[in-house]
Amino acid sequence: MDFGFTEEQELLRKSAREVLAERSTPAVARAVMESETGFDESLWKTIAELGWCGVAIPEAEGGLGLGWVEQAVLVEETGRAVLPAPYLSTVGLALPVVLLAEPGEMRSRLLQGIASGEMRVALALTEEDGEWFAPLKAAATKSVNGYTIEGRKVFVADAHVAHELLVVARLDDDFAVFAVPAADTAITPLPTLDRTRRLSEVRLDGVTVGSERLIASGKSLGWRPADRTALVIAAEQTGVAQRVLEMSVQYAKEREQFGKPIGSFQAISHKLADMLLLTESARSHVYYAAWAIDEGTPDASLAAASARVAGIEAGRFATAEAIQVHGGIGFTYEHDLHLFYRRAKWDELYYGDATVWRERVAELIAAT
Amino acid sequence: MDFGFTEEQELLRKSAREVLAERSTPAVARAVMESETGFDESLWKTIAELGWCGVAIPEAEGGLGLGWVEQAVLVEETGRAVLPAPYLSTVGLALPVVLLAEPGEMRSRLLQGIASGEMRVALALTEEDGEWFAPLKAAATKSVNGYTIEGRKVFVADAHVAHELLVVARLDDDFAVFAVPAADTAITPLPTLDRTRRLSEVRLDGVTVGSERLIASGKSLGWRPADRTALVIAAEQTGVAQRVLEMSVQYAKEREQFGKPIGSFQAISHKLADMLLLTESARSHVYYAAWAIDEGTPDASLAAASARVAGIEAGRFATAEAIQVHGGIGFTYEHDLHLFYRRAKWDELYYGDATVWRERVAELIAAT
Amino acid sequence: MDFRDTAAEAAFRKDVRDWLEANKPSGAVAGLGVTEGRVGMLRTWQRKLHEGGWAGLGWPKEYGGRGASLIEQVIFSQEYARAKAPSILNVIGIGMAGPTIIAHGTDEQKHRYLDKILSGEEIWCQGFSEPGAGSDLGALRTSAVVEGDSFIVNGQKVWTTLAHIADWCILLARTDPTAPKHKGISYLLVDMHSPGVEVRPLRQMTGEAEFNEMFFTDVRVPRDNILGDVNDGWRIAMTTLLHERGTLGFALATQAEIVLGEAIALAKKTLKAGRPAIEDPLVRQRLAQLHVEIQAMRLNNYRALTTVMRTGIPGPEGSLGKLLWSESNKRLGELMLEIQGPAGLLEGSGYAGDNGEWVYRHFRSRANSIEAGTSEILRNIIAERVLGLPKHK
Amino acid sequence: MDFRDTAAEAAFRKDVRDWLEANKPSGAVAGLGVTEGRVGMLRTWQRKLHEGGWAGLGWPKEYGGRGASLIEQVIFSQEYARAKAPSILNVIGIGMAGPTIIAHGTDEQKHRYLDKILSGEEIWCQGFSEPGAGSDLGALRTSAVVEGDSFIVNGQKVWTTLAHIADWCILLARTDPTAPKHKGISYLLVDMHSPGVEVRPLRQMTGEAEFNEMFFTDVRVPRDNILGDVNDGWRIAMTTLLHERGTLGFALATQAEIVLGEAIALAKKTLKAGRPAIEDPLVRQRLAQLHVEIQAMRLNNYRALTTVMRTGIPGPEGSLGKLLWSESNKRLGELMLEIQGPAGLLEGSGYAGDNGEWVYRHFRSRANSIEAGTSEILRNIIAERVLGLPKHK
């Protein structure tokens, strides 16, 4: 029984933190926010070269052949640094689907592309109604050369900088996932509150793809990609919460009111204690879920859903109360807190909110 | 626009508080708790003689001919004093039904009996499933001499000291309320956590009553008695919350820790501020709802439901946090706090909990 | 006890409502932000209010006000919120500077300033908060040193609304650095056009700039521009702060009712899991709870008003309003984003409910528990002044 | 990272489980209350545990313990909770007095006390808390004055479990009233059968008497019965308190998992609005949230354990457990009463879920955030010791 990281895992965290401290500063995030594309090519290259996109991809497919624990370590760090790059959308949203797709040439191409960083892939799942796990309108039909897809996807994260889209569409009485070249679709970015992670509308007006581009069916996938996605977002939330906690503790030690550091007032210090409690709890959940997914334990889904809930609570509470602890200055645009607040809100509302995931937890615990 | 009490109302409150301070001490409540019947005949006589049971009953029926504002004033005070007498069950649960019953001899007998204090009346509504506003199993059938009622009522408050029971039973495709002499039924008190307000099981094994004892039909009653009941319980909760707030503030001023009164620590003082906020809010809701019921305004039902929700929040939070503020001593049997805690819990769970009443509020605000 | 308007109150309410309906700018939008594009409209509106006799509603008639009763002021603020009329540009002048000058000013000062406040000819701002002081107003460090006929002011103020367009500023400055914290402060009336005054907009996390920073560098203020005595500024500032709230609680409660109504409307038209969000039991619970809280604000306000009218002393209920409002409004903002799912992440788009309005409201609400008294300070005040608990220091 | 037992751990777990299954009293009920009717059974059980080699699991072998590793102690406490074995009667002796005597006692003291602690021949209680001191242990006032070969002890203690059956007491008393608060305290081992010791049960709001008050009137304690030096009691008491928690967090987490399972079972069989409560979306949300919190406790404990095993220094995660547990357990109690409706008001009846068990649990849970460190004190500790914030004083 051991809840410790290996030396390699610790080293991975340490080096990630160092790289991010230099390359993913709030100033960089602000530049990306203000830019037209919301994308920093050179930053992406750094990530790609470090192999971060391939952490959970087998060595045979060009990845590092590590697992979800290592993936969570990295994402916790990128969350801590509010990394302004389409990293979570690639490894958190798209990769789980690709990894669990049917083995074959297309899957390999996608995995190798992701692993090398040369291919950015976005998951085009939700539609106008914003529902995550609901019936879809987009539909594919078998055609002579493969499949023709008709539909409109909305809220697709980082679609505007993706090379490939994983389009989920109805097919007969199931659903299926198609790898669609982004260039074949019409992508319109939407004004997103976290401008470093933009959402887009994607129109598919009778796009035809080859049969090999059908990479998975709903029946074979089930909830398994969702477990991994939930885990990755929870890891990011943990990193966000950790960072704003640190900022707040620092501020509470330095800032004085009524002649004393504000951290000496229980109204502040107890808030910070609660932030710590939620952040540490989220972290514990995240790494247990990562381990459970790597090991394929029977409670992996429950662990992932629990991590998601704990992550939302930590991210939401920590970023909101960090602003409160900082007072007026924390509400300014110049202060970095709002970058974290926006990221936490994105993480909270994207891919099912706390209510959705508590219901998932309830379903699993009530079944036993 | 005036949220003030009249001089008469203030006087009523003042005199009630004085009487209760003398006659309804925690020591009296403890004696009633420990007693076999859970009933203090002489205390009841005092209440009866003061005319408190007839505050909301018209003068023509022997009451004082005042209204629900005055009734709320009294019940707030009896709540403040955890009055150990079947007062709330009479004026809060039974009286609203009787007042809204069809005019007639039976109604008059009941009202006059209640007003004089000579008749204690209990509402026998819920059954085994503990649901408040749900289909009933107990059923009445027309018989030669009137109606025959068959069924089992559970959780009937103060039934064991009542003279008459208001039995709600199915009749044809509606429900109806029958006044049934308590002596004709089999009453078994149940071990209740607030032992000054015991719940009973009531069996009606083919009890036959005269036709005049059918006093109201469901269709004519609707939610109107429930509005009044909700109001009265909320008034009691406000009184309970107010009293434990006062006890806690007093304690926080006197009790020292680390060389200072504990009330100087924000962990305590902010809790007390929140208790005040909830208590004052409940009080505002209660008197507005009482006025709205007296005036028959269109928002009376919404006001009553809102008061019930605010009352539950105040009662629950204040009694729970009062124990926390007092620390270990507040958890002892000798300390009076648990009398208030039990009363608040009773008020919370009896007659629909916060969830039920929030749903009622939602129904009313969503309809507009 | 009677929550209905009396005949006179009803008549007054009708006057207000009719006048606002007839006169408010078309396409008016409620909200506090005085953005550059809106200043012209707001100046015109301020003038119109003055001409209609609605500026300085509660001011004594001798100073050009209407001498309205407290309850008339409440009715006005309720109707004003209901009409979604745009903000009153000279709110600091009319609500804070004016009443303080009336209470503590010399005849010359009253003559000099009051008329132009009401007409909106001169706009005022308030220089109390400082970067280092925050909730601890007594810790302010801006200095005013006597030099001949003037004070020389140096220092920095922050969170100043309207500074970018203001002509005058009520400014607290330290005139005796050796005196204890709350002594040695003076209350100055500063011409914002004086050399050495610099205003920089302070952008908020919403992206807007409602507030400013003000920098004072060797600003020369004539000695006559002091309100009250030298070093007596703290006492005078209390008058200003007493007026800060005014009937704000009523406006907030009415506004909250309106916003909740809009929230319910959105919940009816937004689908969640295939059915309107308003049918979701969890959403219903939360909306109902918010209704109860908002009504508590309204009713607490009424109780406070009645207490003041009967006894002349404000009851404890009023101080609770701001605390309740901040916390409720934050929760409403959170709920409304949740209802929308990922559409709650869009700052404006046909996919977002009410074109992203709720995203703005949600962001803006995060400041509610900080501005005009943090929730922590309000709880301190309630604990100490209402419950009589010992000071937390 | 591996949450599975190693082969050795699994074998140890099996040993514990098998032994408990074979030996625990039939019809055993978990819970802390040592009521009169249960003392005999608990004494027998304590003896059995000792004979089985499970008493003093973590004590060094040279003092009669098992010298078990930390992880074995954790496994034992998990299995113990899972088996719902009755409480260990001499828990203060084995968990607190013994380890403190081992750390600070003389050879004579070790020889005199340790064996009888393990065998349960002598039961111990802890005299730390005082009515006037509460969370502020340093404010204790019980005095011990040297008179010849003895200390003469006078004072009052409170919240003492087991005092009514205890043979010995670890007692903190002030030996130098002139010294600063935390100096001048000595750590005495007091024979509870001494003249002048009076024990009165303290009834709780549940109706039970788990705790006692102890009165000391001119109680004569031989000078040899001091642990450590005169006036050095504070330092020694820290050893005791360090052991107070022990593997308690693991036991609490396991117990919480079991209780949540029972709650789910009750929610399945209790009808709400005509369908099982478990199908109510609001109930589901709250149960799910509790699951997440209880699992967080378990996982935080594991992280703390790993940190201790790797570095020898406890991580911050452990101190969070008690806080989380108290607050979660209170909420669980509230939920379970709500699920039952008016049946939640019955202290025992066929109409009440699990015959009123949840009403008791709910009442008992109200003390969770007070006993063994109030939630306020725990937040202070987390803020100061983990986050390094300045002291709140």
Q: Give the integer Cα–Cα distance in Å for C84 and C30.
A: 5
Residue D140 burial (C-beta neighbours within 10 Å; 0-12, 13-18, 19+)? buried
| DSSP secondary structure letter of residue B94 | I
Partnered with residue A214 across adjacent β-strands are: A178
Q: Give the integer Cα–Cα distance in Å for D68 and D66.
A: 5
| Residue A327: inside a domain | yes
Residues A231 and A321 reside in one and the same domain: yes
Does the pLDDT of residue C30 top 60, yes or no?
no
Q: Give the integer Cα–Cα distance in Å for B62 and B297.
A: 26
Per-residue pLDDT band for C37 (boundaries 50, 70, 90) equals: confident
CA B90 to chain centre: 8
Q: pLDDT value at position D27?
A: 66
The residue among C156, C161, C345 with the most chain A CBs within 10 A of its CB, best to mutate, is C345
**Cβ–Cβ gap A324/C369 under 8 Å:** yes
Residues A68 and A137 reside in one and the same domain: no
Tokens found for residue C6: 């009396």
**Cβ–Cβ gap C281/D281 under 8 Å:** yes
Query: Contact at 8 Å (CB) between B303 and B285?
Result: yes
**Cβ–Cβ gap D306/A2 under 8 Å:** yes
Handedness of CA C258, C263, C267, C269 (dihedral sign): positive
Query: Contact at 8 Å (CB) between A84 and A160?
Result: no
Catalytic entry in D9, D121, D213, D244 = D244
Question: In three state form, how does the secondary structure of chain D look?
Answer: CECCCCHHHHHHHHHHHHHHHHHCCCCCCCCCCCCHHHHHHHHHHHHHHHHCCCCCCCCCHHHCCCCCCHHHHHHHHHHHHHCCCCCCCCHHHHHHHHHHHHHHCCHHHHHHHHHHHHHCCCCEEEECCCCCCCCCHHHCCCEEEEECCEEEEEEEECCCCCCCCCCEEEEEEECCCCCCCCCCEEEEEEECCCCCEEEEEECECCCCCCEEEEEEEEEEEEHHHEECCCCEHHHHHHHHHHHHHCCHHHHHHHHHHHHHHHHHHHHHHCEECCEEHHHCHHHHHHHHHHHHHHHHHHHHHHHHHHHHHHHCCCCCCHHHHHHHHHHHHHHHHHHHHHHHHHHHHECCCCCCHHHHHHHHHHHHHCCCCCCCCCHHHHHHHHHHHHCCCCCCC
Q: Measure in Å the smallest separation between the Cα of D149 and chain B Cα atoms.
A: 34
Q: Give the integer Cα–Cα distance in Å for D178 and A125.
A: 74
Q: Measure in Å the smallest separation between the Cα of C9 and chain B Cα atoms.
A: 8
**High-pLDDT (> 70) share of chain D, %:** 95
Q: Which of A130, A255, A338 sits opposite C342 (nearest CB)?
A: A130
Residues B250 and B180 reside in one and the same domain: no
Q: Which chains touch A (3 or more CB pairs under 8 A)?
A: B, C, D
Domain spans in chain C, listed from the N-terminal domain onward: 7-89, 124-233, 247-386
The residue among D345, D357, D381 with the most chain B CBs within 10 A of its CB, best to mutate, is D345
Does the pLDDT of residue C53 top 70, yes or no?
yes
Q: Measure in Å the smallest separation between the Cα of B265 and chain A Cα atoms.
A: 7
Residues A34 and A145 reside in one and the same domain: no
Phi, psi of D299 (to 5 degrees): -75, -40
Q: Which chains touch C (3 or more CB pairs under 8 A)?
A: A, B, D
**Cβ–Cβ gap B276/C320 under 8 Å:** yes
Q: What is the pLDDT along chain B (368 residues), one digit of tens a residue?
A: 789 999 999 999 999 999 999 999 999 999 999 999 999 999 999 999 999 999 999 999 999 999 999 999 999 999 999 999 999 999 999 999 999 999 999 999 999 999 999 999 999 999 999 998 888 999 999 999 899 999 999 999 999 999 999 999 999 999 999 999 999 999 999 999 999 999 999 999 999 999 999 999 988 888 899 999 999 999 999 999 999 999 999 999 999 998 899 999 999 999 999 999 999 999 999 999 999 999 999 999 999 999 999 999 999 999 999 999 999 999 999 999 999 999 999 999 999 999 999 999 999 999 97
Q: Which of D169-173, D317-321, D383-387 has the lowest mean pLDDT?
A: D317-321
Query: Contact at 8 Å (CB) between C83 and C21?
Result: yes
The residue among B82, B326, B331 with the most chain D CBs within 10 A of its CB, best to mutate, is B331
CA B110 to chain centre: 18
User: Is C282 near chain D, with CB under 8 Å?
Assistant: yes
Does the pLDDT of residue C98 top 90, yes or no?
yes
Of A75, A95, A119, the domain-final residue: A119
Tokens found for residue D275: 């369908």
Tokens found for residue A213: 């581009």
Q: Measure in Å the smallest separation between the Cα of D346 and chain B Cα atoms.
A: 5
Tokens found for residue D311: 């570095």
> Which is it for strands C143-147 and C150-158: parallel, antiparallel or unpaired?
antiparallel
Q: pLDDT value at position C186?
A: 97
Q: pLDDT value at position D273?
A: 83
Q: Which of B284, B303, B306 sits opposite C303 (nearest CB)?
A: B284
**Exposed e or buried b per residue across D246-279, where buried means at least 16 C-beta atoms within 10 angstroms of its C-beta:** bbbbbbbbbbbbebbebbbebbeebbbeeeebbe
- Cα atoms found within 13 Å of the Cα of residue B97, Cβ hemisphere only: 27
Phi, psi of B137 (to 5 degrees): -95, -40
Q: pLDDT value at position D135?
A: 76
Q: Give the integer Cα–Cα distance in Å for D173 and D232.
A: 11
Give contacts of D74 with chain A, Cβ < 8 Å. 1
Per-residue pLDDT band for C392 (boundaries 50, 70, 90) equals: low
| Residue A199: inside a domain | yes
| Residue B2: inside a domain | no
Q: Give the integer Cα–Cα distance in Å for D15 and A43.
A: 56
The residues of chain A scoring below 50 in pLDDT are none
Tokens found for residue D88: 């260990």
**Cβ–Cβ gap A291/D2 under 8 Å:** yes
Total structural domains within chain B = 3
User: Is D148 near chain C, with CB under 8 Å?
Assistant: no
**Cβ–Cβ gap A270/B265 under 8 Å:** no
Of B197, B220, B243, the domain-final residue: B220
Q: Which of D1, D296, D378 sits opposite A281 (nearest CB)?
A: D296
> Which is it for strands D150-157 and D143-147: parallel, antiparallel or unpaired?
antiparallel
Q: What is the CATH number of the domain that holds B355?
A: 1.20.140.10
Residues B23 and B139 reside in one and the same domain: no
The residue among D272, D275, D279, D282 with the most chain C CBs within 10 A of its CB, best to mutate, is D282
Q: Measure in Å the smallest separation between the Cα of D351 and chain B Cα atoms.
A: 7
Q: Report C:215-274 residues touching A (Cβ under 8 A).
A: 271-274
Q: Which of D135, D341, D379 sits opposite B257 (nearest CB)?
A: D135
CA A224 to chain centre: 15
Q: Give the integer Cα–Cα distance in Å for B262 and B267.
A: 9
Q: At what angle do helices C357-365 and C318-340 cross, to 10 degrees?
A: 140
Query: Contact at 8 Å (CB) between B281 and C325?
Result: no
Q: Measure in Å the smallest separation between the Cα of B260 and chain C Cα atoms.
A: 9
Q: Give the integer Cα–Cα distance in Å for C98 and C65.
A: 10
| DSSP secondary structure letter of residue A329 | G
**Is A186 in a helix, a strand, or coil?**
strand
Residues B88 and B142 reside in one and the same domain: no
Q: Which of B1, B261, B281 sits opposite C296 (nearest CB)?
A: B281
Q: Which residues touch B221 (CB under 8 Å, ≥6 apart)?
A: B97, B100, B101, B177
D147 tagged catalytic: no
Partnered with residue A186 across adjacent β-strands are: A203
Q: pLDDT value at position B142?
A: 96
**Cβ–Cβ gap C347/A192 under 8 Å:** yes
Partnered with residue B26 across adjacent β-strands are: none
- D301 vs A83, D67, D253, CA distance in Å? 31, 21, 9
Does the pLDDT of residue C393 top 70, yes or no?
no
Q: pLDDT value at position C284?
A: 98
The residue among C275, C279, C282 with the most chain D CBs within 10 A of its CB, best to mutate, is C282
Query: Contact at 8 Å (CB) between C264 and C279?
Result: no
**Cβ–Cβ gap B4/C299 under 8 Å:** no
| Residue A1: inside a domain | no
Q: Which residue has the higher pLDDT, D320 or C133?
A: D320
What predicted TM-score, i.e. pTM, was given to this entire model?
0.95
Q: Give the integer Cα–Cα distance in Å for A216 and C244.
A: 63
| Residue B321: inside a domain | yes
Q: Which of C284, C302, C379 sits opposite B273 (nearest CB)?
A: C379
Give contacts of C282 with chain D, Cβ < 8 Å. 281-282, 285
Does the pLDDT of residue C308 top 80, yes or no?
yes
**Exposed e or buried b per residue across B258-276, where buried means at least 16 C-beta atoms within 10 angstroms of its C-beta:** beebbbbbbbbbbbbbbbb
The mean per-residue pLDDT over the stretch C118-127 comes to 95
Phi, psi of D240 (to 5 degrees): -60, -45
Which is nearest to B243 in space by CA: B83, B90, B51? Answer: B83
Give contacts of A260 with chain D, Cβ < 8 Å. 390
Would you say domain D7-89 falls under CATH 1.10.540.10? yes
Q: pLDDT value at position D393?
A: 56
**Cβ–Cβ gap B269/C306 under 8 Å:** no
Any idea which architecture D124-233 has in CATH? Beta Barrel (2.40)
pLDDT tens, residue by residue, A224-280: 999 999 999 999 999 999 999 999 999 999 999 988 999 999 999 999 999 999 999
pLDDT tens, residue by residue, C145-156: 999 999 999 999
User: Is D217 near chain C, with CB under 8 Å?
Assistant: no
Query: Contact at 8 Å (CB) between C76 and C68?
Result: yes
Q: Give the integer Cα–Cα distance in Å for A93 and A125.
A: 10
Q: Give the integer Cα–Cα distance in Å for B365 and C283.
A: 13
Q: Give the integer Cα–Cα distance in Å for B322 and B338.
A: 10
**Can you give the residue range of the structural domain that contains A49?**
7-119
User: Is C281 near chain D, with CB under 8 Å?
Assistant: yes
Q: Measure in Å the smallest separation between the Cα of D21 and chain B Cα atoms.
A: 35
Of A119, A138, A167, the domain-final residue: A119
How many CB pairs lie under 8 A apart between chains A and D? 153
How many CB pairs lie under 8 A apart between chains A and C? 119
Q: What is the CATH number of the domain that holds B18?
A: 1.10.540.10
CATH of domain D247-386: 1.20.140.10
Residues B138 and B32 reside in one and the same domain: no
**Is B293 in a helix, a strand, or coil?**
helix
Per-residue pLDDT band for D241 (boundaries 50, 70, 90) equals: confident
Query: Contact at 8 Å (CB) between A367 and A331?
Result: no
> Amino acid identity, residue D23?
N
Q: pLDDT value at position B134?
A: 81
User: Is B258 near chain A, with CB under 8 Å?
Assistant: no
Residues B363 and B307 reside in one and the same domain: yes
Catalytic entry in C121, C208, C244, C338 = C244
